[in-house]
Amino acid sequence: MLATLVGQFGDFDLAEEATQEAFAVAAERWPRDGMPPNPGAWLTVTARNRAIDRIRRDATLAEKTRLLEAQDTAEARMDQPEVEETSFPDERLELIFTCCHPALALEAQVALTLRALGGLTTDEIGRAFLVEPETMKRRLSRAKRKIRQAGIPFSVPPDHVLPDRLAAVLGVVYLIFNEGYGGRVDLAAEAIRLGSALAQLMPDEPDVQGLLALMLITDARRDARFHDGEIVLLPDQDRSRWNEVQIVLGRESLEQALALGGRGSYVIQAAIAALHSDDPLDWTEIAALYDELARLTGSPVVEVNRAIAVAEADGPAAGLALVEGLDLEGYQYFHSTRAELLRRLDRPDEARAAFERALELARAEPERRFLQGRIEELGGIAPSGP
Amino acid sequence: MKYALLIYGSPELRDISDDELSSVVGEYEALFDEPGVLAGQQLQGTESATTVRVQNGEALLSDGPFVDAKEYLGGFYLLEADDLDAATALAARVPAARMGGAVEVRPIVER
The per-residue pLDDT for range A159-179, each reduced to its tens digit, is 888 877 888 799 888 877 887
Q: Let me know if A351 is exposed, middle or buried by CB neighbors in 10 A (0-12, 13-18, 19+).
A: buried
Identify whether residues A78 and A123 lie together within a single domain.
no
Whether A299 is in a domain gets the answer no
pLDDT at A168: 78
Residue of B81, B105, B110 lying closest to A62 (CB–CB) = B110
Whether A232 is in a domain gets the answer no
Range of the domain at A17: 1-83
Closest-CA distance, B111 to chain A, in angstroms, reads 7
B84 touches chain A (CB under 8 A): yes
Whether A136 is in a domain gets the answer yes
Closest-CA distance, A153 to chain B, in angstroms, reads 6
Work out the percent of chain A whose per-residue pLDDT is above 90: 43
Residue of A62, A151, A161 lying closest to B84 (CB–CB) = A151
Q: What is the pTM of this model?
A: 0.61
The DSSP string of A113-141 is HIIIII---HHHHHHHTT--HHHHHHHHH
Domain boundary residue among A36, A56, A83?
A83
pLDDT at A30: 66
Whether A307 is in a domain gets the answer no
Rg of chain A over Cα atoms, rounded to whole angstroms, equals 24
Closest-CA distance, B107 to chain A, in angstroms, reads 5
Q: What total of structural domains would you count in chain A?
A: 3
Range of the domain at B60: 2-107
Contact B85 A153 (CB under 8 A): yes
Contact A161 B85 (CB under 8 A): yes
Whether A319 is in a domain gets the answer no
Whether A114 is in a domain gets the answer yes
Q: Closest Cα partner for A231 from A188, A183, A287?
A: A183
Distance CA(B108)–CA(B111), nearest Å, equals 10
End-to-end CA distance of chain B: 12
Whether A69 is in a domain gets the answer yes
Domain boundary residue among A57, A83, A109?
A83
Q: What total of structural domains would you count in chain B?
A: 1
Identify whether residues A78 and A96 lie together within a single domain.
no
pLDDT mean over A256-272: 95
Q: Looking at A16-20, A25-29, A121-125, A195-199, which range is the least confident one? A: A25-29
Identify whether residues A98 and A192 lie together within a single domain.
yes
Whether A291 is in a domain gets the answer no
Distance CA(A293)–CA(A301), nearest Å, equals 11
Model confidence at A116, in pLDDT bands (50, 70, 90)? confident
pLDDT at A9: 62
Distance CA(A95)–CA(A166), nearest Å, equals 13
Domain containing B39 — which CATH number? Answer: 3.30.70.1060
Residues present in chain B in total: 111
Residue of A62, A153, A161 lying closest to B84 (CB–CB) = A153
Distance CA(A18)–CA(A10), nearest Å, equals 13
Identify whether residues A68 and A154 lie together within a single domain.
no
Q: Looking at A52-66, A116-130, A150-164, A201-215, which range is the least confident one? A: A52-66
